[in-house]
Structure 1
Amino acid sequence: MNVLIVHAHPEPQSFTNALKDAAVAELTAAGHEVVVSDLYAMNFNPVASAADFGSRGSEDYLNYALEQRHNVKANSLAPDIAAELAKIKAADLVLLSFPLYWFSMPAILKGWIDRVFVSGIVYGGRRIYDQGGLSGKRAMVIATTGGRDHMLSAGGIHGDLTETLKPVLQGTLGYAGMTVLAPFYGYHVPYISQEAREAVLDDFRTQLRDIEKRETLVMPSLANFDAEMKPL
């Protein structure tokens, strides 16, 4: 299995980075091919702009998605976008590794998605959910938080974290056609003991060993909607 880990944390000594390293070690030991896009280390540009396109379908007005489609056909996407897109195409499993920032992902990872999940390849028209361009691939979120688990659960002050991350899990990964595995969360990690962190890492390693059988999240199917996306 080919695995792509997209990692977004600015501190190499972070616990998020330790989880990423554990994933690399565990999956490699299991015989999988693992590639890492460490966005901060790469100094990845997260800003979607006209500079992403080597040619233009319209010189007068920038419709980013339409220019993505034009540049896919013209083979003129910016080199950094093309390189990351090639990694996604080669991957059977994509892991997103990040700390929770303001109930979401860091801006650099959002920018990676904005620029690399290219219209015309990843999505577009009815190319969504089970007909999405990344159909057949799997994805999993690995996220760390400062908050405690009871704060980020159903009935907790912040609500259920998986529901909070719906824009990532469904609105991005599921929307693009990927089978979305149940996320892994490391809670309260800046404040717990090293012994507690090691226990979280051990749990994570154990869960990765059984990743082929991991629970998946339910996503919409286009078979349940008509041509106008109204429920049947």
Structure 2
Amino acid sequence: MYTKKVLIVYAHQSSGSFNAAAKNAAVEVLTAQGCTVDVSDLYAMGFKATATAEDIKGEVKNAENFCYLEESKLAWEQGKLSADIMEEQSKLTEADLIIFQVLLDISDLFLSAPCCTNSSLPLQFPMYWFSVPAILKGWIDRVLTNGFAFSQEKRYSQGIFKDKKAMLSFTTGSLESMFSPTGINGDMNVTLWPLQNGILHYCGFQVLAPQIFWAPSSALAEDRKSMLESWRTRLQGLLEEKPLSFISLDCFDDKAFQLKPEVHEKHASKEFGLTVGIHLNKPLPPHSQMKAGC
């Protein structure tokens, strides 16, 4: 039995959606394993998506040339961030695992086929325009503030949240084949790189492989049920999973932040690049943003 705390950051408007079913499943299965599960239902909360001076209580340091990065860091240090941000930061601080559940692909907005009615099944976020919905992006912008979630000295493998795990769980509107290296949408590994490396890994999280529900809106009812059952099975051992592999900050020099010559030389003769982003002008490593150990 686990004694872990899980935070699900959930971004979908409808309680009858496939995403809601996946979220509910995660809550049920993880709770049954002894986890304490907290859900931030962003739409139900009416979470503010824009990062503005309103996020800071009292006077700001420089109202004429307002810089959110600097002002929010100072406000965090002084305990002057708005109550909604501080509440989410408190949840994140307590959590061992953070699951971002959304819809990722804009066509999934128009879900017309009936979804599985099993209320015990979990969901996450829908992919919007090959990224996260605006309300979730706003959560990221406002909650992962400078100082609280990262700093110049504490990021990537040395990041503030290096002892925590995080993952994306999302639906697409397009078929899996359309997100392949030869598909019209391009390689899903490329789509995921900014989210998983540029946000989660940047803050130090150990990033678990994403849970992707491919085009549930166009799937048969039995196939949607199978997707959710597979998610439930994965949830049984989720906290023991090996995270995705990213390059350690130690592999870069501390001035220009370029790969150290010895690291570059070590990989010069290898078939694939190191990662999707740091590929050394070589073919991208297959599935490196979707499967651990690749």
Whether TM exceeds 0.5 here: the answer is yes
Q: Deviations over 1:3-44 (max 9, x none)?
A: 000000111111011100000000000110100000001110
Q: Do structure 1's residue 68 and structure 2's residue 72 form an aligned pair?
A: yes
Structure 1 stretches (4+) deviating beyond 3 angstroms? Answer: none
Aligned sequence identity (%)? 40
TM superposition shift of 1:62: 1.0
Pair 215,162 (structure 1): closer, same or farther in 2 beyond 3 Å: farther
Q: Do structure 1's residue 7 and structure 2's residue 10 form an aligned pair?
A: yes
Query: How far apart, CA to CA, are the structure 2 residues paired with 1:159 and 1:227?
Result: 33
Query: How far apart, CA to CA, are the structure 1 residues paired with 2:101 and 2:7?
Result: 11
Q: Do structure 1's residue 138 and structure 2's residue 165 form an aligned pair?
A: yes
Q: Do structure 1's residue 169 and structure 2's residue 196 form an aligned pair?
A: yes
TM superposition shift of 1:68: 1.3
Q: Do structure 1's residue 30 and structure 2's residue 33 form an aligned pair?
A: yes
Asked if the contact 1:137/1:178 (under 8 Å) is kept, the reply is: yes
Secondary structure of the residue aligned to 2:218 is: coil
Map of 1:107 onto structure 2: 134
Query: How far apart, CA to CA, are the structure 2 residues paired with 1:107 and 1:60?
Result: 27
Consecutive unaligned residues of structure 1, counting only runs of 5 or more, are: none
Q: Do structure 1's residue 40 and structure 2's residue 36 form an aligned pair?
A: no
Given candidates 126, 133, 143, the residue that maps to 1:116 is 143
Query: How far apart, CA to CA, are the structure 1 residues paired with 2:13 and 2:52?
Result: 23
Q: Which amino acid aligns with 1:221?
A: S
Map of 1:19 onto structure 2: 22
Secondary structure of the residue aligned to 2:61 is: coil
Q: Which amino acid aligns with 2:71?
A: E
TM superposition shift of 1:59: 2.7
TM superposition shift of 1:160: 2.2
Q: How many residues end up aligned between the 2 structures?
A: 232
Q: Equivalences for 1:146-185 in 2 at 5 Å?
A: 146-185=173-212
TM superposition shift of 1:130: 1.3
Query: Which structure has the bigger radius of gyration?
Result: 2
Query: How far apart, CA to CA, are the structure 2 residues paired with 1:12 and 1:84?
Result: 21
Map of 2:95 onto structure 1: 91
TM-score by length of 1: 0.97
Given candidates 61, 78, 103, the residue that maps to 1:57 is 61
Asked if the contact 1:162/1:183 (under 8 Å) is kept, the reply is: no
RMSD: 1.1
Query: How far apart, CA to CA, are the structure 2 residues paired with 1:135 and 1:216?
Result: 12
Query: How far apart, CA to CA, are the structure 2 residues paired with 1:31 and 1:162?
Result: 33
Map of 1:82 onto structure 2: 86
